[in-house]
Amino acid sequence: MKAHERSWRLKKSERRGMAFLRGCLACMLAVLAVGAAPAPARPARMALDKEFASQVTTMAVEKRGWFFTNESFKFGPYAVTGVKREWTHRKGWGGFGYENTKARQKYEFTLGTQKEPDAWQGRCATDVDEETFRFLVGDRAEVTTQLTAESRFACTFRKGEQGKPWRLLLTRQMGEYFYNGFLADDSRTILVRGTRQLEGTPMPLMDAAGYFFDVEGKPVGAVETLNDGRVFLSPSLDETARDVLACASTALLLYQELSRK
């Protein structure tokens, strides 16, 4: 074999070897790129105590509608319908000092189940005037509420026309990011406390992450107001307490939606 033929065959072999190496390198880079790609971002979650999280029923909010169009949604066995910004059914408010109250925003909703679709009626007002708020709080020695606040939030919930009313009364002080207060009827009181803590990070949110509902110093329910939202209810609650906490959760989810607009 002549020298120039051997040289040509060597170069051809080298070219094939280089092509093979380039192919291997491309494969390695592709694998590394896939491995280095960031994982899909997890949605932010409200921080929950492990014991509490293991004991409650977790219900994701589903089929959330658009603001000011169709704001209906569902969680667990509950369906929220008839959401209206500004009250349309004023009759039920007259006896509770709401008829002529001054407020920044008012909204109402219906909460029910498949068996009772129109069971509960909820009506809320944000930035309620202090006089009305004092009337609603009344004389409750077991609750410490700062009536002079930057913002006052009030709701009433009633099952049917003759049902016993429950009141959700919350205040937010200057510089705070969430409300605190209580939920009560004439015989029971459930404390409501807000939180900014997020799951998996010590850095708090610059807004409310959600709210806990406490009885005798222990949480019996919670609502996460981040993203679409989640509701957590203890199976130890009686039916009325579960329904009322579902109403309060709905009110806070709708308020959170309002505050972002």
Name the nearest CA neighbour of 186 among 216, 163, 160.
163
Asked if 219 contacts 191 with a C-beta cutoff of 8 angstroms, the reply is no
Whether 18 shows a pLDDT value over 70: the answer reads no
Per residue in 81-131, pLDDT (tens digit) is 999 887 655 544 444 445 556 667 788 999 999 888 889 999 998 888 777
pTM summary value: 0.78
CA gap 256, 199 in Å, rounded: 19
Per residue in 198-242, pLDDT (tens digit) is 999 999 898 899 999 999 999 999 999 998 899 999 999 999 999
Whether 42 shows a pLDDT value over 60: the answer reads yes
Note the pLDDT of residue 23: 46
Note the pLDDT of residue 134: 78
Distances (CA, A) of 76 to 200, 230, 260: 26, 10, 25
Asked if 178 contacts 195 with a C-beta cutoff of 8 angstroms, the reply is yes
Whether 10 shows a pLDDT value over 50: the answer reads no
Name every residue whose Cβ is closer than 8 Å to that of residue 235 and which is 6 or more positions away in sequence.
55, 56, 57
- The residues pairing with 170 across neighbouring beta strands, listed in sequence order, are 153, 181
Whether 67 shows a pLDDT value over 70: the answer reads no
Whether 135 shows a pLDDT value over 60: the answer reads yes
Asked if 251 contacts 166 with a C-beta cutoff of 8 angstroms, the reply is no
Per residue in 150-200, pLDDT (tens digit) is 788 999 999 988 788 999 999 988 888 899 999 999 889 999 999 999 999
Note the pLDDT of residue 22: 47
Name every residue whose Cβ is closer than 8 Å to that of residue 38 and which is 6 or more positions away in sequence.
none
Whether 41 shows a pLDDT value over 70: the answer reads no
Note the pLDDT of residue 219: 97
Whether 132 shows a pLDDT value over 60: the answer reads yes
